[in-house]
Amino acid sequence: AQKVTQAQTEISVVEKEDVTLDCVYETRDTTYYLFWYKQPPSGELVFLIRRNSFDEQNEISGRYSWNFQKSTSSFNFTITASQVVDSAVYFCALSEPPGAGNNRKLIWGLGTSLAVNP
């Protein structure tokens, strides 16, 4: 069965610390995509990154970086030198294998709530 596990429910750090949010997935697909979304206190859901299963290169975008390791079925997200504005709930999601009509859904983790304190 397809599943996304974000084992860390809540993380609290002090500004400027580095923090890694874990995401472990299970899938029977050989081709799949992984996503990270951010939900700040204002409530909207913001797309951060999409990574396909064939591309295991790490991705860096400013202070954000993502480590995709197929061998451990993990797609971890690191924030370097965290800032108060990084405080949010972060969701990891996995594309589900196509169902009826070849339609796919996303399987969502339960989210990790990150609090960055000044």
Partner 1 sequence: DTAVSQTPKYLVTQMGNDKSIKCEQNLGHDTMYWYKQDSKKFLKIMFSYNNKELIINETVPNRFSPKSPDKAHLNLHINSLELGDSAVYFCASSQGSSTATDTQYFGPGTRLTVL
Rule CB under 8 A: is residue 7 a binding residue for partner 1? no
Q: Which is nearer to partner 1, 44 or 118 (CB)?
A: 44
Give the C-alpha separation, 68 to 30, whole Å.
Answer: 15
Give the C-alpha separation, 75 to 6, whole Å.
Answer: 10
**Window 66 to 95, contacts with partner 1 (CB under 8 A):** 89, 91, 95
Give the C-alpha separation, 116 to 118, whole Å.
Answer: 7
Give the C-alpha separation, 30 to 71, whole Å.
Answer: 13
Rule CB under 8 A: is residue 38 a binding residue for partner 1? no
Stretch that binds partner 1, among 16-24, 31-39, 65-73, 78-86 (CB under 8 A): 31-39
Total binding residues toward partner 1, as defined by CB under 8 A: 28
Going by C-beta distance under 8 Å and a sequence separation of 6 or more, which residues neighbour residue 52? 31, 32, 33
Binding site for partner 1 (CB under 8 A): 29, 31-33, 35, 37, 39, 43-47, 50, 52, 89, 91, 95, 98, 101-106, 108, 110-111, 113
